[in-house]
């Protein structure tokens, strides 16, 4: 869906107000309206959820929001992302696995990657956060995935994810993509569809 930047900012503000009020039903309705209007999962993630989560994180960091407010908003966003699965037609393009490594506590970017891959036609195993590398490599081999995506939000966890990626590549002979700060979902889709 092509929406002007000003409209994205308005939609982000509307969703922010609903999250701060704990209005999950209102948040669902807003996202559903955008999806039914032809919304693209990647555009919603990049233009709605990413700026929203950045704002919430910044407000938590400066003490404007409490941990409870930040966690409630994040939990609602997690459920919104879980529901953003467009109907598929035809067989999946292949199998993907998405996770974060031990030490990475932020799971929403991985969940956005999962939503984007599903929307792009991939059967995707979302493994969650803080997965030990041995376990992830073993599951990736058992599921015969086409590739693995590791999400990291901090420089320290990007470095750990790069090391884990090497281990997984070696043990599975499959590509592993590491997404860090500033990486976009469109870049991920370009890589996997390359």
Give the number of other CB atoms < 10 A from CB of residue 80.
22
Cα of 169 vs its chain's centroid, Å: 22
Going by CATH, does the domain composed of 5-83 fall within 1.10.1240.10?
yes
From the list 57, 26, 43, the residue with the least C-alpha distance to 112 is 43
DSSP string, 14-68: HHHHHHHTT-HHHHHHHHHHHHHTT--HHHHIIIIIHHHHHHHHHHHHTTSS-HH
Ordered per-residue pLDDT tens for the chain, 194 residues = 455 556 889 999 999 999 999 999 999 999 998 888 877 899 999 999 999 999 999 999 999 999 999 999 999 999 999 888 766 778 899 999 999 988 888 899 999 999 999 999 999 999 999 899 999 999 999 999 999 999 998 888 899 999 999 999 999 999 999 999 889 999 999 999 98
Q: Which DSSP symbol is given to 93? A: S
- Residues of the chain within CATH 1.10.1240.10 domain(s) are 5-83
Residues 22 and 133: their CA atoms lie apart, in Å, by 36
Place of tokens 């669902």: 28
Q: Where in the chain is the domain with CATH 3.40.50.280?
A: 95-193
Q: Bridge-partner residues for 147, per DSSP?
A: 96
- Indicate the fold that domain 95-193 takes in CATH: Rossmann fold (3.40.50)
């Amino acid at each position: 869906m092509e929406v002007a930047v000003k409209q994205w900012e308005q939609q982000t503000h509307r969703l922010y107000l609903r999250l701060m009020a704990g209005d999950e039903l209102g948040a669902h309705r807003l996202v559903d309206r955008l999806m039914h209007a032809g919304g693209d999962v990647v555009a919603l993630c990049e233009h709605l959820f990413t700026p929203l989560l950045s704002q919430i994180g910044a407000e938590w960091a400066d003490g404007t929001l409490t941990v409870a407010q930040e966690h409630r908003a994040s939990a609602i966003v997690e459920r919104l992302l879980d529901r953003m699965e467009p109907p598929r037609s035809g067989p999946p393009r292949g199998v993907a696995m998405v996770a974060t490594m031990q030490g990475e506590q932020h799971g929403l970017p991985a969940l956005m990657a999962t939503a984007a891959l599903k929307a792009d036609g991939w059967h995707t195993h979302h493994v969650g956060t803080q997965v030990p590398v041995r376990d992830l490599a073993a599951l990736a081999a058992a599921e015969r995935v086409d590739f693995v995506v590791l999400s990291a939000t901090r420089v320290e966890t990007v470095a750990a994810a790069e090391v884990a990626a090497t281990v997984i590549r070696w043990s599975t002979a499959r590509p592993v993509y590491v997404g860090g700060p500033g990486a976009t979902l469109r870049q991920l889709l370009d890589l996997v569809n390359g």
